[in-house]
């Protein structure tokens, strides 16, 4: 039996290890991008961008399975043929697609965007190459002036890390209360209150033009304000990065066992940032953080083993993995997927913990400095509250 795993990040490695420890007689091949060594993406902003780590220090440990550095360009779902950048093709008895995500960029209609990208003063912070670009530019200027476009977890943590390293950071967010939809208003407001004493902030602003200069960048905002810096970092979230025939922004829809809905009987599974889930009673959603990716990789592998008659049914996948970000001396914590909730309830005010509910069912948690409470609450996620008589 031969299984191909496409992607050697958190999801793919978790799937490979799960198959290994099962003891099943399966040969696993793990694909990464051409010329790329698998690395820990959480260290892109935490380590490399701020100069604490060299790129080779982010490498993930060997999995014990064969790793092939040859980008997967496309898959034939009917035959499970995998077409590689080198021109080779391989066929597998089952596939796990764990190709991850790519960063959202600024809209191409923003004047001067392409010139700023070409000048190297506008960048994402998603890959090791991005991190090296940021490190090299801010390393030549002390303190560097950094414009952070975005207000989510990555933007918040990176802004904090850069400030701790002695740089001047300005936040530019499209929302007046950044993160409110993803974290809930209470947690988002607490997070914003951590930022405001530390940074200049342009809230509820949208870039309309970018002007590149030899030694700086200017971001022109709607209603006229301009923000100047040495570098602008775009942190507007991610999109799925799937091989053909799933290219585009839609990702790979999966069922509750992480089987591909486009090829439900072909033993093709998708997990991590590339997978699009559907929660009962709610719309579709994606999860793209490290612990969530690890959990999905393991779940997809266990579903694969079950479908091959080599393991027990893992049950349906429900998001309950924790996540965290360190921001200005405090820890933003959570679990599950807050965007699934339709209402919130304050569990604790000191430390702050908010539970996100879909009807009577808690689906996620967010808070500040509440890691112990989050751990206590995780077993309650996706458990419907008892009906009171």
Q: What is the pLDDT of residues 35-60, one digit of tens each?
A: 888 999 999 999 999 999 999 999 99
pLDDT bucket at 290, cuts 50 / 70 / 90 = very high
pLDDT of residue 39: 94
Contacts of 382 (CB under 8 A, 6+ apart): 318, 320, 336, 361, 362, 363
CA dihedral for 311, 316, 322, 323, sign (positive or negative): positive
Query: Mind listing the pLDDT tens digit for each residue in 331-344?
Result: 999 999 999 999 99
Q: Is the pLDDT of residue 352 over 50?
A: yes
Q: CA 125, 127, 132 angle in degrees (round to 5)? A: 75
Helix, strand, or coil (residue 298): helix
Query: Mind listing the pLDDT tens digit for each residue in 102-137?
Result: 999 999 999 999 999 999 999 999 999 999 999 999
| Distance from C-alpha of 366 to C-alpha of 380, rounded to nearest angstrom | 14
Task: DSSP letter for 367, please.
Answer: E
Q: Is the pLDDT of residue 196 over 50?
A: yes
pLDDT of residue 225: 87
Helix, strand, or coil (residue 226): strand
Q: Say if residue 249 is exposed, middle or buried (CB neighbours under 10 Å; 0-12, 13-18, 19+).
A: exposed
Which of the pair, 5 or 265, is modelled with greater confidence? 5
Place of tokens 């918040």: 156
Helix, strand, or coil (residue 182): helix
| Cβ atoms of 302 and 318 closer than 8 Å | no
Place of tokens 């933007």: 155
Query: Mind listing the pLDDT tens digit for each residue in 225-246?
Result: 899 999 999 999 999 999 999 9
Q: Is the pLDDT of residue 389 over 70?
A: no
Q: CA 162, 57, 100 angle in degrees (round to 5)? A: 80
Rounded to an integer, the average pLDDT of 138-164 is: 93
pTM of the model: 0.94
Share of the chain above pLDDT 90, in %: 90
């Amino acid at each position: 039996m031969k299984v191909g795993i496409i992607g050697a990040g958190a999801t793919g490695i978790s799937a490979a290890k799960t198959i290994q420890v099962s003891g099943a007689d399966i040969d696993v091949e793990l694909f990464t991008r051409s010329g790329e060594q698998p690395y820990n993406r959480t260290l892109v902003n935490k380590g490399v961008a701020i100069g604490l780590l060299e790129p080779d220090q982010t490498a993930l440990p060997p999995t014990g399975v064969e790793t092939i550095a040859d980008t997967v360009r496309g898959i034939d779902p009917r035959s499970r043929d995998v077409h590689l950048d080198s021109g080779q093709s391989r066929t597998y008895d089952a596939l796990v697609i764990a190709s991850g995500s790519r960063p959202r960029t600024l809209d191409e209609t923003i004047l001067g965007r392409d010139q700023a990208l070409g000048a190297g003063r506008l960048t994402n912070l998603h890959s090791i190459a991005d991190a090296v670009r940021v490190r090299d530019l801010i390393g030549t200027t002390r303190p560097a002036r950094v414009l952070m476009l975005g207000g989510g977890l990555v933007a918040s943590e990176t802004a904090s890390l850069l400030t701790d390293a002695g740089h001047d950071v300005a936040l530019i967010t499209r929302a007046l209360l950044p993160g409110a939809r993803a974290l809930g208003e209470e947690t988002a407001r607490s997070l914003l209150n951590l930022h405001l004493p530390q940074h200049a902030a342009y809230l509820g602003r949208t870039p309309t033009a970018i002007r590149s200069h030899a030694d700086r960048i200017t971001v022109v905002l709607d209603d006229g304000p301009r923000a100047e810096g040495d570098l602008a970092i775009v942190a507007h979230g991610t999109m799925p990065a799937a091989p053909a025939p799933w290219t585009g922004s839609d990702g790979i829809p999966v069922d509750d066992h992480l089987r591909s809905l486009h090829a439900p009987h072909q033993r093709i599974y998708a997990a991590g940032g590339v997978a699009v889930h559907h929660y009962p009673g709610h719309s579709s959603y994606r999860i793209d953080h490290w612990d969530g990716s690890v959990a999905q990789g393991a779940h997809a592998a266990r579903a694969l083993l079950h479908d091959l008659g080599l393991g027990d049914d893992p049950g349906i996948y429900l998001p309950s993995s924790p996540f965290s970000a360190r921001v200005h001396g405090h820890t933003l914590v959570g679990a599950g997927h807050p965007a699934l909730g339709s209402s919130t309830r304050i569990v604790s005010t000191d430390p702050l913990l908010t539970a996100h509910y879909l009807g009577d069912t808690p689906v996620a948690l967010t808070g500040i400095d509440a890691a112990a409470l989050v751990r206590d609450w995780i077993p309650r996620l996706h458990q419907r509250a008892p009906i009171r008589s």
